[in-house]
């Protein structure tokens, strides 16, 4: 027969302390989770010293030798890059871009341990459809600034109130003002899941998604995940092709019969890219840290790298005005 004894004062205090510690830890975990899910207002303010350092770097450039051809077949031409750097160092005004960003509501929230920066503009029209828009590479949310007005306030641009959207524009992990991953694994699938978390966190139970370039891959995966709240997607980068076209591109065979003129032109562009345009992709896919050191240290090297990607994206091997690229910002 067991005997029941009255608890001592020490027993009561010990149990109370244990319960108190558990409650405290529970409260701390809850507070940490709440802090991670918080939507923290964000304001862009690049220190003046950083801008001054950039201008200094642009003044003291060790230029590469001039190309040995008369076109851009060897890469970005010296004249083009020097024109760009001169514009960047003497004319370009970052503060104007900064003001454009700060004129829009911006936030940061932590998803899966990483800070995600995003623009969130709600339409003044009731029942506006939420849309998350994902940029590509080389690019940033700055490219999407021009679509905010027409999407959120279509009546001001000759459209209908029924065409209105709430717009969410996040910076991809490692881009812009989002956090930089410290471990591997932030692939398009993980980003697609994070975007759904973001939209849910904003209170949206139904939304659509749009993306271009790398953003199109993320957006496509959002659809493939079968996310309950996602009602539709739009992409402006088509990376899937019919199997027979894929085989021809991979093997060097002629274009399949029956292609339209537009399809044949696209086939030829893809073949040209496969033959001479994949160097950057192979480098960044296999040894990103190696090229990363150069791109992080040299703004002129970074400008040349990105300008070459933009030139390839336009499908032209000829030179073009650098100001046409930069003045868009």
Indicate whether 116 and 213 sit together in one domain: yes
Q: Establish if 137 belongs to a structural domain.
A: yes
Q: Establish if 227 belongs to a structural domain.
A: yes
Alpha-carbon span 132 to 196, nearest angstrom:
9
- Identify whether the C-beta of residue 326 lies closer than 8 Å to the C-beta of residue 94: no
Tokens 């209908």 — which residue? 160
Q: Establish if 251 belongs to a structural domain.
A: no
Indicate whether 116 and 234 sit together in one domain: yes
| CATH for 120 | 3.40.50.1820
- Residue 71 — φ and ψ, nearest 5°? -125, -165
Structural domain harbouring 194: 112-240
Q: Establish if 161 belongs to a structural domain.
A: yes
Question: Residue 167 pairs with which residues in a beta bridge?
Answer: 121, 131
165-170 and 114-121 strand pairing: antiparallel
Q: Establish if 180 belongs to a structural domain.
A: yes
- Residue 114 — φ and ψ, nearest 5°? -125, 135
Indicate whether 195 and 315 sit together in one domain: no
- Any residues with CB less than 8 A from the CB of 149 and at least 6 apart, and which? 156, 157
Q: Establish if 249 belongs to a structural domain.
A: no
- Joined together, the tokens standing for residue 225 give 């995940």
Q: What is the pLDDT along the chain (329 residues), one digit of tens a residue?
A: 444 456 676 776 666 666 666 666 656 555 555 667 899 999 999 999 999 999 999 999 999 999 999 998 888 999 999 999 999 999 999 999 999 999 999 999 999 999 999 999 999 999 999 999 999 998 899 999 999 999 999 999 999 999 999 999 999 999 999 999 999 999 999 999 999 999 999 999 999 999 999 999 999 999 999 999 999 999 998 677 889 999 999 899 999 999 999 999 999 988 988 887 788 888 888 999 999 999 999 999 999 999 988 877 665 544 444 444 444 44
What total of structural domains would you count in the chain? 2
Alpha-carbon span 181 to 124, nearest angstrom:
35
Is the CA virtual torsion 307, 312, 314, 319 positive or negative?
A: positive
pTM, whole model, 2 decimals? Answer: 0.83
Q: Establish if 259 belongs to a structural domain.
A: no
CA-to-CA separations, 104 to 42, 132, 139, in angstroms, rounded:
10, 15, 19
DSSP count for the chain of H helices, then E strands = 13, 7
- Looking from the CA of 269 toward its CB, the CA atoms found within 13 Å total 14
Alpha-carbon span 78 to 171, nearest angstrom:
31
Indicate whether 154 and 235 sit together in one domain: yes
Q: What ranges in the chain are assigned the alpha helix state H? A: 9-37, 48-59, 78-90, 94-102, 145-152, 188-201, 214-224, 243-251, 261-276, 279-286, 288-297, 299-313, 322-326
167 three-class SS? strand
Q: Establish if 146 belongs to a structural domain.
A: yes
């Amino acid at each position: 027969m067991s005997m029941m004894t009255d608890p001592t004062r020490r027993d009561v205090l010990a149990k109370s302390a244990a319960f108190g510690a558990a409650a405290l830890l529970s409260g701390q975990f809850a507070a940490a989770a709440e802090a991670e899910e918080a939507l923290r207002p964000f304001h862009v303010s690049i220190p003046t010293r950083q801008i001054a350092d950039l201008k200094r770097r642009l003044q003291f450039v060790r230029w590469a030798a001039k190309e040995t051809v008369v076109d851009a077949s060897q890469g970005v031409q010296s004249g083009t890059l020097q024109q760009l750097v001169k514009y960047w160092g003497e004319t370009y005004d970052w503060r104007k871009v900064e003001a454009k960003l700060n004129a829009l509501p911006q936030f940061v929230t932590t998803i899966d341990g990483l800070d995600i920066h995003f623009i969130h503009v709600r339409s003044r029209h009731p029942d506006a459809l939420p849309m998350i828009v994902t940029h590509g590479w080389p690019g940033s949310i700055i490219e999407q600034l021009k679509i905010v007005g027409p999407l959120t306030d279509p009546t001001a641009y000759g459209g209908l109130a029924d065409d209105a959207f709430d717009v969410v524009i996040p910076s991809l992990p490692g881009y812009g003002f989002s956090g930089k991953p410290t471990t591997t694994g932030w692939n398009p699938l993980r980003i697609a899941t994070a975007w759904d978390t973001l939209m849910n966190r904003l209170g949206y139970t139904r939304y659509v998604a749009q993306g271009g370039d790398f953003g199109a891959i993320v957006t496509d995966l959002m659809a493939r995940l079968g996310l309950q709240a996602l009602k539709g997607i739009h992409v402006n980068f088509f990376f899937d092709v019919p199997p027979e076209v894929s085989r021809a591109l991979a093997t060097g065979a002629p274009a399949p019969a029956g292609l339209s003129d537009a399809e044949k032109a696209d086939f030829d562009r893809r073949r040209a890219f496969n033959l001479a345009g994949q160097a950057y992709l192979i480098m960044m896919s296999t040894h990103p840290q190696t090229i990363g050191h150069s791109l992080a240290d040299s703004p002129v090297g970074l400008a040349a790298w990105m300008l070459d990607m933009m030139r390839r994206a336009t499908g032209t091997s000829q030179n073009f005005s650098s100001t046409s690229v930069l003045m868009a910002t």
